[in-house]
Amino acid sequence: MLALTIGLVYVLITLIIGDLFQFGWEGIPFLSPTSLFSFLLVFGGVGTYVQDHFQISPWKLMSLSIVMGFKAAFLISVLVLIPLKRSEVSSVFSKNDVLYSIGVISVPCSNTIVGEVVIVHKGVRIAYPCLHSKEQNLQIGTKVSFSKFKEKILIIKEITT
Kindly report, residue by residue over 107-160, the tens digit of the pLDDT: 888 878 888 888 877 777 888 888 888 878 888 888 888 877 777 787 888 877
What are the residue boundaries of the structural domains of the chain, listed by start? 2-90, 95-158
Contacts by 49-57, CB closer than 8 A, 24 or more apart: 51/2, 51/3
Phi–psi pair at 123, nearest 5 degrees:
80, 5
Q: What is the CATH number of domain 95-158?
A: 2.40.50.140
pTM above 0.75, yes or no: no
12: left (phi over 0), alpha (psi -120 to 50) or beta: alpha
Instruction: Please report, rounded to a whole number, the percentage of residues in the chain having pLDDT higher than 90.
Output: 9
Model pLDDT for residues 86-106, shown as the tens digit of each residue: 766 555 566 666 667 788 888
Which residues make Cβ contacts (< 8 Å) with residue 4, sequence separation at least 6?
Answer: 43, 44, 47, 48
Interstrand relation of 115-121 and 102-107 (parallel, antiparallel or unpaired): antiparallel
Radius of gyration of the chain (CA): 26
Helix (H) or strand (E) holding 86: helix 82-90
pLDDT, tens only, 15-49: 666 544 444 445 666 677 777 788 888 888 898 89
Confidence at residue 21, expressed as pLDDT on a 0 to 100 scale: 44
Q: Are 96 and 37 in contact (CB under 8 A)?
A: no
